Structure 1
Amino acid sequence: MKAYVIEQPGGPQVLQMRDIPTPEPTADEVQIRVRAFGLNRAETYLRAGKMGDITAPRVPGIEAVGEVLHDPAGVLRTGQRVATAMGGMQFSRNGSYAEQVTVLRSNVISLDDTSLSWEELATLPEAYLTVWGALDKSLAIQRGQTLLIRGGTSSVGLAAIIYAKARGLTVIATTRTAANAQRLYEMGADEVVVDNGDIAGRIGEVAPEGVDAALEVVGATTLRDTLKTLRPFGAVSVIGLLGGPPVVERLHLMQDLPGGTRLNFFPSGLLGTPALPLHNTPLPWLAREMAAGRIPSIRTRTFAFDEVRDAHRLMESDRALGKLVVLL
């Protein structure tokens, strides 16, 4: 099969198309024909050598949608439409930048009950599963609450706006550029705040009692300010590191954490583990809602399989304002 392989760290040019063997699935694995996959920052970090030394050829990619080729256990039928995310892809096994991928069955979700196109299905797995894990599991959101999304123009930020609105929350989203505000309103944000790094005062004007929950996509650089926006007993979940390394120096537990508030980091590596099984995720519902036109798409551009290097360049330019997809 054809796949992109990284043999040494570097820029997009180190993504090389190769013919490599197709791993046969074991009893707890499923082999999938990849129809499309979304692109993620994690793949650019791997490519650049920011996720450890590259001591052997690596196939990047942490999500895909496609059709089941072989399930040794017979749980999934051949030809079944499915999505997959994480489960060791690009780390302990080949990733999804390939014509086929062999993944853990626990990280496969059936998408049979939808007419949505492959390129739109490819926008769903990593972004929406991360949002689901952070909002439903870490923050336990409830209808009627107010949610701050710090870093709204990222693909996961846009997905969070859409999902939170569909769940009945009031959403305040941030962007560093005023010109991008309209994009966030189109996704469903109730209020958009231009982020200069110090927005707690502005959020206080919009939500005087504080927000019930916050989703931190920017990361350590804005976390202290995000914490200041919470009401007592509110919570923030960090899911992104767009602002740099995940280190908050000299965090003062009494001065930086408002009374009774909760802080956590949600890693998408939990997806499909015993702690967070995927048998009851919102992905099938989201696919049906998108197919019916009831929720918008976060896709901004689709690339062909031989254009992956161009896609990486666009992703690293910070001009995508949404999800980039590769269609095979």
Structure 2
Amino acid sequence: MKAAVIYTAGGPENFAIEERPIPTPGEGQLLVKVKAFGLNRSELMTRKGYSPGVQFPRILGIECVGEVVTDASGEYKPGQKIAAFMGGMGRDYDGSYAEYTVLPKQIIIPFESVLPWEVLGALPEMFQTVYGSLHVALRIKKGQSLLIRGGTSSIGLLAAQLAKNAGLRVIATTRKPESREALLQNGAHEVLIDDGQLALQLKALHPAGVNHVLELVGTLALKDSLQCASIGGSVCMTGMLSEQWSVPEFSPMEFIPAAVNLTVYDSGQIRISAEHFQNFVREVKAGMVKIKTAKVFKLDEIVEAHRLMDSNIAKGKIVVVTD
């Protein structure tokens, strides 16, 4: 099989396309024919050597869609469409940057769909992250307000649509004024240009703050985002576009405003049910949710795909197909 392998941490050019034997599944595992996968910022950080405990060489990839090849238990039949994400995939063991991969059953979600693989490849981790952030971490309700910091990211674009469909007022941010109209067309009711001091802008328009903040920029913006929340409001840090894991000299009493809740969402710790994912796939097929794909690459083009992710100019999900 063909696989994209990285031997040492560094830039996109460190990927090598190799021929490797098709792996053999063990007990509790499936052999999966990978059809497509999305790129994720965590893979960029792993590639750069920022993920503690990851050993090289490694086949990266924390998500994929594909078809079951073999399941010794008989639970899954050959040809069953599946989605898989997280659970150590592409970090503790080889992931989806290959034509075939062996995966533990606990990270598998079966589904049915006639959507093309390049669309399905954008969905698993993006849906899991957005749905979990909004409904599990923030517990959004109709009539509330939501600030999405990092609105032009693939997560931000989907979050705006799902929040609007749920009846929330959505405020999205971007650093680029030319992205304003695209965010409004994507579901945002308001767009703010992020200059690093967003709380001043937001409080001028909404003095009491917003009910919820979905923080996608990460630790560099977190303190300012906390100032955007209303009393009793919540901030969920889900993304790390800034590529920085921690807050230096964190002092909770000074960092977190009184009566504002701070949480995180990590799809590696919480799983969304197969039923929720199947419903989401149906909504995409029906046109109720629009998936913004930045560009679709082939597996041989993994270097170019990572260069696009590095550039931070992709407005949407970057997808790789194996066929």
Class of the TM-score when normalised by the shorter of the 2 chains: over 0.9
Q: List gaps (5 residues or longer) in structure 2.
A: none
CA distance in 2, matches of 1:111, 1:27: 22
1:235-270: per-residue Cα shift (whole Å, max 9, x none)? 111111222423223445444423321112222221
Deviation, structure 1 residue 52: 4.1
CA distance in 2, matches of 1:80, 1:101: 15
1:323 aligns with 2:322: no
| Paired position in structure 2 for 1:296 | 290
Equivalent residue of 1:215, what SS? strand
- Check whether the contact 1:116–1:288 (CA below 8 A) recurs between aligned residues: no
| Paired position in structure 2 for 1:60 | 60
CA distance in 2, matches of 1:148, 1:5: 38
Equivalent residue of 2:84, what SS? strand
Does 47-56 or 286-295 show the bigger shift?
47-56
- Check whether the contact 2:61–2:96 (CA below 8 A) recurs between aligned residues: yes
Deviation, structure 1 residue 168: 2.1
| Paired position in structure 2 for 1:134 | 133
| Paired position in structure 2 for 1:169 | 168
Say if 1:228 and 1:281 are closer, same or farther in 2 by CA, change over 3 A. farther
1:19-75: per-residue Cα shift (whole Å, max 9, x none)? 223332233222211111101122222222222476542001111111111222222
Say if 1:281 and 1:153 are closer, same or farther in 2 by CA, change over 3 A. farther
- Check whether the contact 2:4–2:97 (CA below 8 A) recurs between aligned residues: yes
CA distance in 2, matches of 1:309, 1:255: 43
1:186-241: per-residue Cα shift (whole Å, max 9, x none)? 22111110000111122224433321111111111111111111111111111112
Deviation, structure 1 residue 282: 2.7
Q: Which amino acid aligns with 2:229?
A: L
| Paired position in structure 2 for 1:76 | 76
Q: Work out which of the residue numbers 312, 315, 325 in structure 1 matches 2:306.
A: 312
Residue identity over aligned pairs, in percent, reads 40
CA distance in 1, matches of 2:271, 2:55: 31
| Paired position in structure 1 for 2:117 | 118
How many residues are aligned here? 322
Say if 1:102 and 1:167 are closer, same or farther in 2 by CA, change over 3 A. farther
Say if 1:21 and 1:52 are closer, same or farther in 2 by CA, change over 3 A. farther
| Paired position in structure 1 for 2:144 | 145
TM-score, length-normalised on structure 2? 0.94
CA distance in 2, matches of 1:133, 1:231: 21
Deviation, structure 1 residue 280: 4.4
Q: List gaps (5 residues or longer) in structure 1.
A: 271-275
Does 13-22 or 247-256 show the bigger shift?
247-256
> What is the 5 A alignment of 1:21-60?
21-52=21-52, 55-60=55-60
Q: Which amino acid aligns with 2:65?
A: V
- Check whether the contact 1:129–1:281 (CA below 8 A) recurs between aligned residues: no
CA distance in 2, matches of 1:228, 1:292: 38
1:224 aligns with 2:223: yes
> What is the 5 A alignment of 1:123-272?
123-270=122-269
Q: Which amino acid aligns with 1:326?
A: V
CA distance in 2, matches of 1:102, 1:166: 36
Say if 1:309 and 1:68 are closer, same or farther in 2 by CA, change over 3 A. same
- Check whether the contact 1:228–1:256 (CA below 8 A) recurs between aligned residues: no
CA distance in 1, matches of 2:82, 2:274: 14
1:112-162: per-residue Cα shift (whole Å, max 9, x none)? 1x2211111111111110112222111111122111111111111112112
CA distance in 2, matches of 1:22, 1:166: 43
Equivalent residue of 2:203, what SS? helix
CA distance in 2, matches of 1:279, 1:294: 20
Deviation, structure 1 residue 176: 0.5
CA distance in 2, matches of 1:281, 1:252: 40
